[in-house]
């Protein structure tokens, strides 16, 4: 994958511990366009896969901010081969806007023989067909700070200026110890490396249990980018990481504070309604042949608990602060109820 995500290199092992490749296309799309890529509605296409936790962040942020009309979205299927993610969900297996069958083609348009990871999320310049950036961490921050002219009315401030120092510190620990920590466990090459990674992961989860025991959100009084970044790992924990990556000291559902926190976010528009459990399980269990040689996708776990009451509102705060929740997702971007039992026919989490 890439730093935030293991695409073509997802099954790479190292002799001791797993090291993520963090080399990305770091061009930025900015309000002033000082790097040659100005914010311009309709010009770019966000390419994602619902299976991928790093891409799921971008899906959530785009929806929370209401950028659907300004930034279109192409959705790859849950699996990929050595040639990258494919648009196999679209008629004819071709993205209807980019007119390509796989995201690799957009990387090759940017640089013939592109030598690095072919990853999602990626933002593609539609006129040229070139990937602008796949720097997933910066993509979501820029959606919050550079695309403000196109945010919906009532959009939350996901990266408040007055909280950024604290947020950056918290998000760094979440990334190194949790988001990437589950991968260090799953792709460890030795018993010692696995056990060290396992211990690091659960030290961090215990820290989060303590931090969130007396506060509804990670930083501040409403949802921020920090919550988005943690959520996509928590949403995959019981379905994939507990068994597939051997992160099995406890399930998420056995960590009372984190489980309630995750349910609170899941039931908030933008989170659970972008979560495709079928794609998540199929991706990890089918693509990671070194970890799961049979390719068998487990039927469990029971996912019905995601809609149970969480009582987190008693801690104060509110999801959107002075803002408002996004409306229902558009028909073409709804998660199928068959893929997420908590979703209704309108693509929203059931009350």
208-220 residue pLDDT tens: 999 999 999 999 9
* pTM of this prediction exceeds 0.75: yes
Query: 130: closest CA among 103, 107, 114?
Result: 107
Catalytic residue among 52, 76, 185, 247: 52
User: Per the annotation, does 306 bind a ligand?
Assistant: no
Query: 343: closest CA among 304, 290, 301?
Result: 304
How far is it, in rounded angstroms, from Cα 121 to Cα 134? 6
> What value, to the nearest 5°, has the Cα angle with vertex 155 and ends 40 and 177?
95
SS3 73: strand
What count of other Cβ atoms lies within 10 Å of the Cβ of residue 305? 14
Q: Which structural domains are found in the chain, ordered by start?
A: 161-333 (1.20.1050.10)
185 is catalytic: no
194-244 residue pLDDT tens: 999 999 999 999 999 999 999 999 999 999 999 999 999 999 999 999 999
134-176 residue pLDDT tens: 999 999 999 999 999 999 999 999 999 999 999 999 999 999 9
Model pLDDT, residue 6: 39
59-76 residue pLDDT tens: 999 999 999 999 999 999
SS3 86: strand
Is a pLDDT exceeding 50 seen at residue 9? no
183 is catalytic: yes
How far is it, in rounded angstroms, from Cα 189 to Cα 131? 33
Catalytic residue among 183, 198, 217, 261: 183
How far is it, in rounded angstroms, from Cα 34 to Cα 114? 24
Q: Are 325 and 270 within 8 A, CB to CB?
A: yes
């Amino acid at each position: 994958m890439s730093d935030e995500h293991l695409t073509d290199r997802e099954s790479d092992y190292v002799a001791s511990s797993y090291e993520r490749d963090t080399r990305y296309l770091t061009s930025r799309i900015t309000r002033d366009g000082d790097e040659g890529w100005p914010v311009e509605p309709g010009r770019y296409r966000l390419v994602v896969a619902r299976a991928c936790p790093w891409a799921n962040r971008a899906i959530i942020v785009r929806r929370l901010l209401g950028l659907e009309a300004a930034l279109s979205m192409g959705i790859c299927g849950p699996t990929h081969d050595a040639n990258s993610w494919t648009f196999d969900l679209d008629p004819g297996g071709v993205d209807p806007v980019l007119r390509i069958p796989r995201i690799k083609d957009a990387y090759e348009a940017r640089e013939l023989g592109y030598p690095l990871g072919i990853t999602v999320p990626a933002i593609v310049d539609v006129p040229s067909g070139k990937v602008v950036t796949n720097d997933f961490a910066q993509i979501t921050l820029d959606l919050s700070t550079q695309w403000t002219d196109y945010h919906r009315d009532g959009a939350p401030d996901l990266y408040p200026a007055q909280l950024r120092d604290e947020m950056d510190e918290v998000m760094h620990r979440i990334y190194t110890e949790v988001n990437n920590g589950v991968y260090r466990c799953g792709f460890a090459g030795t018993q010692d490396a696995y056990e060290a990674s396992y211990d690091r992961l659960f030290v961090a989860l215990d820290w989060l249990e303590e931090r969130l025991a007396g506060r509804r959100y990670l930083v501040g009084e409403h949802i921020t980018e920090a919550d988005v970044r943690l959520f996509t790992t928590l949403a995959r924990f019981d379905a994939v990481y507990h068994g597939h990556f051997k992160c099995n000291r406890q399930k998420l559902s056995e960590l009372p504070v984190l489980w309630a926190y995750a349910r609170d976010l899941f039931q908030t528009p933008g989170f659970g309604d972008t979560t495709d459990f079928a794609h998540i399980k199929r991706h990890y269990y089918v693509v990671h042949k070194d970890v799961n040689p049979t390719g068998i996708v487990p039927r469990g776990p029971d996912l019905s608990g995601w809609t149970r009451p969480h009582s987190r509102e008693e801690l104060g705060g509110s999801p959107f602060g002075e803002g408002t929740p996004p409306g229902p997702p558009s028909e073409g971007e709804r998660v199928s109820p068959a893929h997420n039992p908590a979703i209704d026919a309108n693509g929203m989490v059931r009350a």
